[in-house]
Amino acid sequence: MSKAHRGTGVRKEPNHGRGKCPRCGKDNIKTLYEQEIDGQKVKICKYCKATLKNIAQKQARSGKAAAAKAAPAAEATAEAPQA
Ligand SMILES: [Zn+2]
């Protein structure tokens, strides 16, 4: 189970896991990383996987920040009718 993207593991893959990355369009690159893009499961290269991971992390972080910002506002509005 180790090294799923190197050595013996990729020999089982068609063309040794190499192909054209559907995201960046690079040819003859290892496309071993499954990723859901627009509801479609596609196999992308490690660079695109890293990029998408970074984007997702950034969004998660900004989403958390937005939620934290929204929460005090919601509390304030909830308290307002009582006062
Ligand atoms: Zn790519």
Predicted TM-score (pTM) of this structure: 0.69
Q: How far is the CA of 62 from the centre of ligand 1 (A)?
A: 25
Q: Where are the domains of the chain?
A: 14-68
Mean model confidence pLDDT for the chain:
85
Contact 48, 30 (CB under 8 A): no
Q: How far is the CA of 60 from the centre of ligand 1 (A)?
A: 22
Percent of the chain's residues with pLDDT above 70: 86
Please say whether the dihedral angle defined by the alpha carbons of residues 27, 33, 34 and 40, taken in this order, is positive or negative.
negative
CB within 8 Å of 26: residues ≥ 6 apart: 20, 45, 47
Q: Is the pLDDT of residue 52 over 90?
A: yes
Q: Is the pLDDT of residue 28 over 70?
A: yes
pLDDT band at 12 (very low <50, low <70, confident <90, very high): confident
Q: How far is the CA of 73 from the centre of ligand 1 (A)?
A: 41
